[in-house]
Amino acid sequence: MHTSIRHTATPASTPAPASAPTTVTYCTTLDSPLGELLLVGVDSPTAPCGIALTSLSLPGQRGATVVRTHWRRDARPFAEAIRQLRAYFAGQLPRFELSFQATGTDFQERVWQALDEIPYGTTTTYGRLADALGVPRTDVRALGAAIGANPLLVVRPCHRVIGADGGMRGYAAGVERKIALLTHEGALQPTLI
């Protein structure tokens, strides 16, 4: 799954100049096979759809985004993201083409960008990802923490990173959802009951 990413955010601690327009934050929800998705985004003149996603989270997710009172609830700015998510869950879209504006530390952003390169229907291990990024094996825990801090579940495929033994390691939205996503993408075989 490849995504178009645009990093244009300024750090939250930097006040906007008095003459700059205020950035509007929008949110909406979307039912999915995983539960209700919460989409959050901001106006972005450089994003093809006019909005850049800042967060996509699920109920019960560790560190999930909390809706703020000043955010505008409006599904219209998310029309393209919603279309792509529905197509993904219908098995018709292996690659998202959305603009993101999620910010983290330099290390987190490096890790998140590497997640975007893991192809649909495949997995990689924490160790292989560490090797690809030049992260020493002693820092694999930091890599795991950066993956766990991914604010854009589903569209930024942190679910495609598994243990070296094939085990499903932690997933902020729950291991059962990770298994469901990997099964949906064909990276895991469905289990028979």
Q: Select from 147, 146, 52, 67 the least CA-distant residue to 102.
A: 52
Instruction: Select which of 40, 158, 162, 187 is catalytic.
Output: 158
Q: What share of the chain is helix, strand, coil (3-state, %, to 5)?
A: 30, 15, 55
169 close to 144: Cβ distance less than 8 angstroms: yes
Q: In the annotation, is 158 catalytic? A: yes
Distance from the Cα of residue 126 to its chain's centroid: 17
Q: Select from 26, 6, 36, 43 the least CA-distant residue to 154.
A: 36
3-class state of residue 92 by DSSP: coil
Just list the catalytic residues.
Answer: 158
